[in-house]
Structure 1
Amino acid sequence: MTTIHELGTQRLRDRIAAELERTRARTALLTEAVDDADLMRQHSPLMSPLVWDLAHVGNQEELWLVRDVGGHEPVRRDIDDLYDAFKQPRRDRPALPLLPPAEARAYLAAVRDKVHDLLDRVPFTDRPLVADGFAFGMIVQHEQQHDETMLATHQLRLGPPALHAPPPPEPRARVADEVLVPAGGFTMGTSTDPWALDNERPAHTVHLPAYVIDAAPVGNGRYAEFIADGGYDDPRWWSEAGWRHRTEAGLTAPLHWRRDGDGWAYRRFGRWSPVRADEPVVHVCWYEAQAYAAWAGKRLPTEAEWEKAARWDPATDRSRRYPWGDEEPTAEHANLGQRHLWPAPVGAYPAGASPLGVHQLVGDVWEWTASAFRGHPGFAAFPYREYSEVFFGDDHRVLRGGSFGTDRAACRGTFRNWDYPIRRQIFSGFRCARDARPDESPR
């Protein structure tokens, strides 16, 4: 007779198998959309050749699942150093003796065969690494993160379009300009989500004064007003470091924008189209976001302010997993998973709004916050320091919420991303916040 425990274990095995298959299908789509020469080419010194990412996800799967969890002999020990992201800077990877595409695909298949065998027999309770399938979830999220990185590489590549997707939905709701978040405490982070990564842990209470946050990400129209008002030419709006970077890098508009008559055009995945005013601005760095916020008389939200707006439910005083609740994202909730190839206009996802009426907190664009990347109080590195801890400090700024290229497996209300403040090849945007005035009340 099958026990309840056995049924639960089989459901977990089935879920993991489905997530592995779904993720690998996306990897295949991204790497089969171009020919072998394109796979081997470096499209930007900021990015790896696509074939490096392809073999790297297989190598990580081998290291953690085949060797560590399974205790098996290596499939290819000789390539470990080639695909070590810390040993091999991105700019140098094209010169490495990388596996050619056919060999890389064969390697991934060999690793995956061993993982399927392992999945059929591994217990999920004998040590923290495998409890609730964590190691498998970590590998799914790692591959999905590299899939988003490969999608960003596709955005940088020149030549005819290689990726295709339908446009995102049109607006379905009117969205307010701002939302007041009342003062008080809320639970930030998580201690219970089984696949949450170490930097999301542990759950802890954060008390915040009242503040006001934009009800939607900043749109192209408003950002174009900042440009037209001389925002890129006026050092008043920029920090000292930001102005120095703006000057040295020659920034004049978001990445992939160019003048189009009296307006702007935006190149997305090989196609030029007019900039649409109500779409969230994308491909701006932290310094640009900070300068816009200053010009608008606001500031960037802290990471805690972003998360409270995204998760806190005033009716229950609890933090949800997502803005809309605890259920997994669907196509009605958010623009995720490469379903579309650019941000959706403001108001396109009313079902994904938070209880306070804040929209599009998940998907569309990663949102820069004011916060440097640090561990939560009580942070403990797991299962290795190089996932999060080595990046802590003032060099990296936190982004939240995910983009149209982020998969649902690597996106939840506690998920944290981080990058250098000069980066804008990523799918990054922002929303603004400000301190609440004493006379302000909810609208």
Structure 2
Amino acid sequence: MTAHEPAGAAAPADPEVLRLRAAAALTAARDRTDVLTSCVGDPELTAQHSPLMSPLVWDLAHIGNQEEQWLLRTLGGREPLRPDIDKVYDAFEHPRAERPALPLLPPAEARTYVADVRARVLDVLTGTSMEGGGQLADAGFVFGMIAQHEQQHDETMLITHQLRRGPAVLTAAAPPPAPADASSLPPEVLVRSGPFTMGTSAEPWSLDNERPAHERSVPAFFIDTTPVSNAAYTRFIEDGGYRDRRWWSRAGWSHVQQHGLHAPLFWTQDGGVWLHRRFGVMEPVPTDEPVLHVSWYEADAYARWAGRRLPTETEWEKAARHDPATGRSLRHPWGDTDPTPVHANLGQRHLRPAPVGSYPEGASPLGVRQLIGDVWEWTASDFLPYPGFAAFPYREYSEVFFGSDHKVLRGGSFAVDPVACRGTFRNWDLPIRRQIFSGFRTARDAEDS
């Protein structure tokens, strides 16, 4: 642990506390999986709602298969339950568009399989040493890894629900209205130059691409206080942003022309009013929400149009974690404590982002809001390893994606569970992707003062 890492990131020392934490994370993930797979009938579970996504029933059995391989076979030393399906549910073996043609477990069989795996996993958890049992077991890491894996697939399944056609099947309360000071916030915040600790070597359930903690330094910059809103993005559209080559990278302009893009995904215009479809419901685009379902190319073009740029990943993390008063890097923008509903919009508690300016109690020490939750935020950076990176426990989680093909997103969305979202968590995707719950904020250079 570096001198500036948060002490609050250390795991609880009591093995029983660790066991309870692991059991709670696994249970929360499975409860959410059940919600996402029980709200539609078997035909919709087995259908492919978009070639970009797997059938929901593939995700369900894949969750169980990963859990079996890591927690029963690798950690628990148990005999395989269903070795015959390993290749079917290997995400690297079959592209998503091809998965409907595979011999998938039918819904009832998939549910029985994942329940059988989970019952055995809880037995393994009871007998696992949380200390001195090797890197996989220490502090319950592998249980946390599997809980995060399931929650990530829950977010993927929620994306599939957004892409499916038909009546709404998911409901959730709306986020609270914006706080009284939201309209008077400064548009941007100055982040002064200097070093800070990026990444982590102490967070027990952090994944390999978040490690190790290391020092970075960036020149002074300004960053938006809140994510870019639908109202602001609409001004870009109405100013001809999608028709003006000046604002687009070469690849971005080619993509816009080839696919006829003219607005964020799911947006349509009717009588001069912008509407969008959200989980089966058509509604006017809420002007005060962060813009959602935009690609990296669109975010980059907007930033250029606004005379700004996307923040680098390093800038984003400094704005989110660095406390200039103490020199420490915090676990989250608000401090070292776990997220609660007053800090951020996470965990599918709402099915939409909260209005811009929300969650003042979740602000960073510099006053930047909504850095965690609401929308994934595109950054300018390629997905690359940190100095000293070591793949663990398998190369396919991060290492095979490193390079210039993928751009980094930070901060999480309303669809991300707290177990899979922290100030160091890194997401990545292709710059064309729009079905994901992605938005952005902008930045600009500054002279330090």
> Which residue is equivalent to 1:66?
72
Matched, 1:128 2:135: yes
* Residue among 212, 218, 233 paired with 2:222: 212
SS at match of 1:141: helix
- TM-score, scaled relative to structure 1: 0.97
> Which residue is equivalent to 1:415?
425
Partners of 1:224 and 1:345 lie apart in 2 by: 16
Give the residue type in structure 1 aligned to 2:437. F
Give the Å deviation of 1:19: 1.1
Give the Å deviation of 1:251: 0.6
Give the Å deviation of 1:11: 1.1
Partners of 2:403 and 2:308 lie apart in 1 by: 25
* Residue among 163, 167, 182 paired with 2:174: 167
Partners of 2:210 and 2:202 lie apart in 1 by: 10
Partners of 1:433 and 1:347 lie apart in 2 by: 17
SS at match of 1:273: strand
Whether the 8 Å contact between 1:310 and 1:354 is mirrored in structure 2 is yes
* Residue among 371, 385, 401 paired with 1:375: 385
> Which residue is equivalent to 1:44?
50
Partners of 1:344 and 1:396 lie apart in 2 by: 27
Give the residue type in structure 1 aligned to 2:58. W
Residue correspondence of structure 1 range 293-308 to structure 2 within 5 A: 293-308=303-318
Give the Å deviation of 1:257: 0.5
Stretches of structure 2 lacking an aligned partner (at least 5 in a row)? 1-10
Instruction: Output one character per residue of 1:38-68: Cα deviation in whole Å (capped at 9) or x when no partner.
Output: 0000000000000000000000000000000
* Residue among 236, 257, 264 paired with 1:226: 236
Q: Provide the aligned length of Structure 1 versus Structure 2.
A: 435
Matched, 1:91 2:100: no
> Which residue is equivalent to 1:25?
31
Give the Å deviation of 1:250: 1.0
SS at match of 1:278: coil
Whether the 8 Å contact between 2:291 and 2:439 is mirrored in structure 1 is yes
* Residue among 113, 123, 137 paired with 2:144: 137
Whether the 8 Å contact between 2:12 and 2:18 is mirrored in structure 1 is no
- Identical pairs, percent: 66
Give the residue type in structure 2 aligned to 1:326. D
Give the residue type in structure 2 aligned to 1:90. R
Whether the 8 Å contact between 1:75 and 1:110 is mirrored in structure 2 is no
> Which residue is equivalent to 1:103?
109
> Which residue is equivalent to 1:56?
62
Give the residue type in structure 2 aligned to 1:68. T
Matched, 1:195 2:205: yes
Instruction: Output one character per residue of 1:118-140: Cα deviation in whole Å (capped at 9) or x when no partner.
Output: 01111122211111100000000
SS at match of 2:396: helix
Partners of 1:86 and 1:115 lie apart in 2 by: 24
Instruction: Output one character per residue of 1:155-200: Cα deviation in whole Å (capped at 9) or x when no partner.
Output: 0000000100011111113232000000100000000000000000
Matched, 1:341 2:351: yes
Partners of 1:199 and 1:334 lie apart in 2 by: 23
- TM-score, scaled relative to structure 2: 0.96
Give the Å deviation of 1:261: 2.2
* Residue among 122, 125, 149 paired with 1:119: 125
Residue correspondence of structure 1 range 246-265 to structure 2 within 5 A: 246-265=256-275
Partners of 2:271 and 2:365 lie apart in 1 by: 41
Partners of 1:274 and 1:358 lie apart in 2 by: 28
Answer with 12-21 or 224-233: which moved more: 12-21
SS at match of 1:104: helix
Deviation >4 Å, runs of 4+: none
SS at match of 1:387: coil
> Which residue is equivalent to 1:155?
162
